[in-house]
Amino acid sequence: MTQRVALATVLDRLAIDALITGYAVAVDDGAWSDYAALFAPDGRVDYRGAGGVEGPAVEVARWLEETMRLFPVRQHLIVNRRIDLEDLGGYTGDRAEVRADYLNPMCLARQTASGPDAGEAGAARSGAATPDFVTGGRYTFTLHRAEAGWLIRTVTVHEKWRRAPGP
């Protein structure tokens, strides 16, 4: 592998890491148009492994927008990222797979005297800083390189465990 190929590989890995981080930030911030922009035009999402839906990324973004209103405070921690770049005889190709573990604590919306909490500030004021719902598992992303950079072709959630509110 030449230095030029090695540098290109490092740059690809950094760009892919930024894409996966962008995914987590978009979900946590409720930036649904940013979320949809991370996907290829034919991008698909499969959240059935965590009790969610499967479908085109744009449709799933709308579903998330409605569903995540229950959890105005959420934080995805995506760790242990394993990036496998397509190998074309020593050169990286235009496809990659990422397997990454996640931990996702979320706080339920609370009713206050002035109405439902509106995000982090409201949750902190009402004492909802402790997560009500925590889930962990693994994401599998398939990616492809487009002219504008790396995009998500598919993401699949494999939930391994959850702690939900209960008695």
In this structure, the chain runs to a length of 167
Reported pTM: 0.85
Q: What share of the chain is helix, strand, coil (3-state, %, to 5)?
A: 35, 45, 25
Query: pLDDT class for 167, splitting at 50, 70, 90?
Result: low
Q: Which two tokens stand for residue 12?
A: 């690809």
Q: How far apart are CA 24 and CA 117, in angstroms?
A: 22
- Using CA atoms, how far apart are residues 135 and 17, in angstroms rounded to an integer? 22
Q: And the tokens for 43? A: 């991008």
Residue whose token pair is 């402790």:
130
Q: How many CB atoms lie within 10 A of CB 7?
A: 10
Q: Kindly report, residue by residue over 75-85, the tens digit of the pLDDT.
A: 999 999 999 99
| Residue with more model confidence, 93 or 5 | 93
Which residues are 73's β-sheet partners?
Answer: 107
| pLDDT, tens only, 112-158 | 444 444 444 444 444 545 778 899 999 999 999 999 999 999 999 99
